[in-house]
Amino acid sequence: MGEKTSAHPGAAGRAVAADRPGNIRNVVLVGHSGSGKTTLVEALALATGAVNRAGRVEDGAAVSDYDEIEHRQQRSVQLSLVPVEWAGIKINLLDTPGYADFVGELRAGLRAADAALFVVSAAEGVEGVAGATRMLWEECAAVGMPRAIVVTHLEAARADFEEMTETCRAAFGGESGDGVLPLYLPLHGKEGPDGHRPVAGLVGLLTQRVFDYSSGTRTETAPDDDQLPLIEEARNRLIEGIIAESEDETLMDRYLGGEEIDVKTLVEDLERAVARGSFHPVLAAAPAQEGARQGLGTVELLELITGGFPTPPERTPPEVTSPTAPPARR
């Protein structure tokens, strides 16, 4: 790795400045080869303005697959850093190769990060969250690394976001599956001639607002009356999940007593639980449409990274060892 790891010269044109550690998030993207990590990095670079136009992996035009070998193989072979800026926070996105041969690059990325995004393809189903990905999840859990899950390939024929969420709960959520829950549900648009219903937006389970991406730019609207009952069950499950993780023990009693807990309190508790590594939100993402800036779910993901993921000083540095000296803290 070493010198090879560099920001793509085209990304942002210049490095994003951050004047203090509190304004930095170091985030590694991990997951099965082909799950969509490089494509997601591209979507985030576009949404934050780090690039002006999204390149596709298969065209050899994605910012984090810049090596000629990557262009030829149409997949990542090395760790790469793509710095982006959102709401005054510098986010260092570390894109890792999913293919097992390049595990050394993955390990280097994990070491440098303070939080991880597990990218899973809904088209792959359970295969994408088994084996190496699941072991990696457990390894991150052992050191308390904050984690979130991003579901991609939402428009694939087999894709079903809710089914994928249940698969993730079973794979990553331990016996109860608690602590692995979606924050948004995808909203499907009109059925096309091929019988598919593309994902047009997201509905926020806490805010009960609709975030519509169908125009290529995120717009916020109120849900239709018939949409609210559809999210009620998932909303209640999420609220109970957040309250169960809350440090405020009175909250559960108040909730069970019928009190409506306000969204701000819930979001703050959620962000604290994410930062502690005890709650793992499931989000959805898709590349931006041709000519558009915002890919579905990019804004929600950036909000989670900046609001819920820890700053470098908040994380305990990893243990370092040398052949001659006993384990020591860095």
Site for ligand GTP, residues 147 to 186, rule: CB under 6 A: 152-153, 155
**Nearer to ligand GTP by C-beta: 24 or 164?**
164
Q: Which stretch binds ligand GTP (CB under 6 A): 16-24, 50-58, 228-236, 303-311?
A: 50-58
Minimum Å gap between C-beta 161 and ligand GTP is 12
Q: Which stretch binds ligand GTP (CB under 6 A): 36-44, 182-190, 253-261, 267-275?
A: 36-44
The one of Mg ion, ligand GTP, none whose footprint includes residue 204, by CB under 5 to 8 A per kind, is none
Written as six digits, the tokens of 301 are: 């993901």
Q: Is 314 helix (H, G, I), strand (E, B) or coil?
A: helix
Sequence-distant (≥ 6) Cβ neighbours of residue 17 within 8 angstroms? 90
Q: How far is CA 89 from CA 217, 246, 274, in A?
A: 21, 26, 18
**Nearer to ligand GTP by C-beta: 25 or 37?**
37
Instruction: Yes or no: say if 40 and 285 are a contact pair by the CB < 8 Å rule.
Output: yes
Site for ligand GTP, residues 269 to 298, rule: CB under 6 A: 286-287
Find the distance separating the first CA and the last CA of the chain, reported in whole Å: 20
Q: How do 180-182 and 328-329 pair as beta strands?
A: unpaired
Q: Which stretch binds ligand GTP (CB under 6 A): 11-19, 92-100, 166-174, 194-202?
A: 92-100
Q: Please give the single-letter amino acid code of residue 16.
A: V
The one of Mg ion, ligand GTP, none whose footprint includes residue 33, by CB under 5 to 8 A per kind, is ligand GTP
DSSP labels, 187-229: EE----TTS---EEEEEETTT--EEE-TTSS-EEEPPPTTTHH
The one of Mg ion, ligand GTP, none whose footprint includes residue 294, by CB under 5 to 8 A per kind, is none
The one of ligand GTP, Mg ion, none whose footprint includes residue 99, by CB under 5 to 8 A per kind, is ligand GTP
> Which residues lie near Mg ion (CB under 5 A)?
37-38, 76
# of chain residues touching ligand GTP (CB under 6 A): 21
Beta partners for 24? 90
Sign of CA pseudo-dihedral 12, 109, 54, 24? negative
> DSSP assignment, residue 23?
G
The one of ligand GTP, Mg ion, none whose footprint includes residue 292, by CB under 5 to 8 A per kind, is none
Binding mask 65-84 for ligand GTP (x = CB under 6 A): ----------xx--------
Q: Please give the single-letter amino acid code of residue 129.
A: V
**Nearer to ligand GTP by C-beta: 286 or 304?**
286
Assign 3-state DSSP to the chain and report helix, strand, coil percentages, each to 5: 35, 20, 45
Minimum Å gap between C-beta 37 and Mg ion is 5
Among candidates 32, 284, 41, which has minimal Cα distance to 151?
Answer: 284
Give the residues lining the site for ligand GTP (CB under 6 A): 31, 33-39, 56-58, 75-76, 97-99, 152-153, 155, 286-287
